[in-house]
Amino acid sequence: MSELTQSPTWQALTDHFEQIKPLHMRDMFDKDPNRFEKFSVRSSGILLDYSKNRITSETMTLLTDLARSCQVEEIRDRMFAGAHINSTEDRAVFHVALRNRSERPMMVDGKDVMPDVRRVLNKMRRFSEDVRKGHWRGITGRHIKTVVNIGIGGSDLGVIMALQSMRSYQRDDLSPRFISNVDSSHLMETLRDLDPETTLFIVASKTFSTQETMLNATSARSWLVKRLGREAVRKHFVAVSTNKKRVHDFGIDTDYMFPFWDWVGGRYSTWSAIGLAIALVIGMDKFEEMLEGGYAMDEHFRTTPLENNMPVIMALLGVWYSNFFGWSTHAVLPYDQYLTRFPQFLQQMDMESNGKRIDLQGRPVDYTTGPIIFGHAGTNAQHSFFQLLHQGSWNVSMDFIGVANNHHPLREHQTILLSNFLAQTKALMRGKTEAEVRKELSAKGMPPAKIDMLAPHRTFPGNKPTNSLVLPLVTPFTIGQLIALYEHKVFVQGVIWNINSFDQWGVELGKELARDLTPKLTGEVPIMGEDSSTEGLLNYMKRLKKEFI
């Protein structure tokens, strides 16, 4: 057994779980009318209600003891101090510096990085304002109308999510598009109806060598050059990168290369120059409001005692269900159409960060780490997978995200949306007993035999745990808060599980093998040394490709 599972705090939680396991939340609420007040916290306008969880005050005390015994506070402070807590890559984890809105220095390796951070933000402001005001134009002198972000993973998902979330702040005459998948269909369908004279491409790759991104960028450049000539590249392409030579060789003016740093992980990079598309489409003022929201959550996380610390509470509840209940799946359910992309964004943030089976000392863990994350926007999700949540044999913990107000004046829509948000968490908590079902059907005059047949199918066990996060409105500030909240939640869980949340070696193996297989698929080298399945698939695909030549 590991040090974690042998620790006194873990053993205390294991014993306590046996007391909690038979309890139903319906009864907990009936016995304690102050449960909401006990189990809810607020931070800069965001409310977390975690009262609909299978917990008592003792549970939260024991979970907080676990966090302290795992040195969550100390490692948090080391992160904010610029320590190299990414041990396998010997790097600081310092995305918090990107949204530091105070005058406090942020030190890495003896250097205050804030002057460089502010320099890049100022450069982003100048360029975005030039484009938005029409000072920067395409090669033929026409205004830019479409910004195409070419990236993948952290250079794509966060930017898409943020711009989808802040759609109401976009101008009608400047719209974003995204190319990430190396599948040519993604590229060509994105370019299909674009006017090259009014299109600006952002190539987002730190090293300017990411295979998918650079292939897409090269093909997009060919599309542009075919229509406007090679000189157009300098007026229609910019780069977010640190590799000046590769950017220059591609044909991009290095004056329009926007750098970031090796202490910025890809899935935490939306706050950096990777967010250039956000600044272009909604304006730099709104981008900086998003930074303000992130900073507000950073300060809450950095200074609030663990007992009332929103990211810590959410992290500990996740540990409770993953490691003591044995549940491996977590759903994120935003009740706001603008947040449709948020669950997908969290899939990368959480599963790439904590999808690890080796601890910091290189030993296999003997406990569950990162959960499987899924989700979609309500109310659509209610007509998709909610049946499993209510009556399925799988157990799933859930975050519901509600937004009190909407940018559009159709009040009845928002009322119905929020009613569904409230009803779902209530139904998942309370369920419906067989006795209640029988009474209900009998009151409708249904014959006893039919009641006997239907009652089991219309019974809901309830006792399904949910967190309710409530935002006042989807704004750049609240989006910044929300992203930072989940970043810190993931961080805390990684600390407790004693894993490195900031590397992603598992992403690399498939890429390495793909590079080896490419020449075999094209016929440049013979198909040898493969397992029978890979060899059979290679031969079959090569035959199919010949049929379409």
The pair of structure tokens assigned to 407 is 């940018």
| Greatest Cα pair distance in the chain | 82
Residue 385's identity, in one-letter code, is F
Active-site residue, 186 included? no
Residues 6+ apart with CB under 8 A from 536: none
Q: Give residue 392's identity as a one-letter amino acid code.
A: G
Closest CA to 291 of 130, 106, 114, 96: 96
DSSP E strand stretches across 221-369: 237-240, 257-258, 329-335
463: left (phi over 0), alpha (psi -120 to 50) or beta: left
Cα–Cα distance, 228 to 234 (Å, whole number) = 11
112 DSSP β-pair partners: 107
Please compute Rg for the chain using Cα positions: 26
Q: Among the options 31, 226, 245, 383, which is catalytic?
A: 383
Active-site annotation holder among 16, 352, 376, 488: 352
- Are 246 and 209 within 8 A, CB to CB? yes
74 is catalytic: no
> What is the H or E stretch that residue 540 is in?
helix 532-547
Contact (Cβ atoms closer than 8 angstroms) between residue 232 and residue 138: yes
- Angle among Cα 385, 390, 392 to the nearest 5 degrees reads 75
Concerning whether 111 is annotated as a catalytic residue, the answer is no
Amino acid occupying residue 276: L
Tell me which residue of 25, 57, 24, 23 sits closest to 39, measured CA to CA.
Answer: 57
Residues near 39 by beta carbon (within 8 Å), at least 6 away in sequence: 49, 50, 51, 53, 55, 60
**Alpha helix segments (H runs only) across 358-447:** 386-391, 411-430, 434-443
Contact at 8 Å (CB) between 389 and 331? Answer: yes
Residue 460 has which token pair? 């809901």
- The answer to whether the beta carbons of residues 145 and 175 sit under 8 Å apart is yes
What percent helix, strand, coil does the chain show, rounded to 5?
55, 10, 30
Enumerate the active-site residues: 352, 383, 511
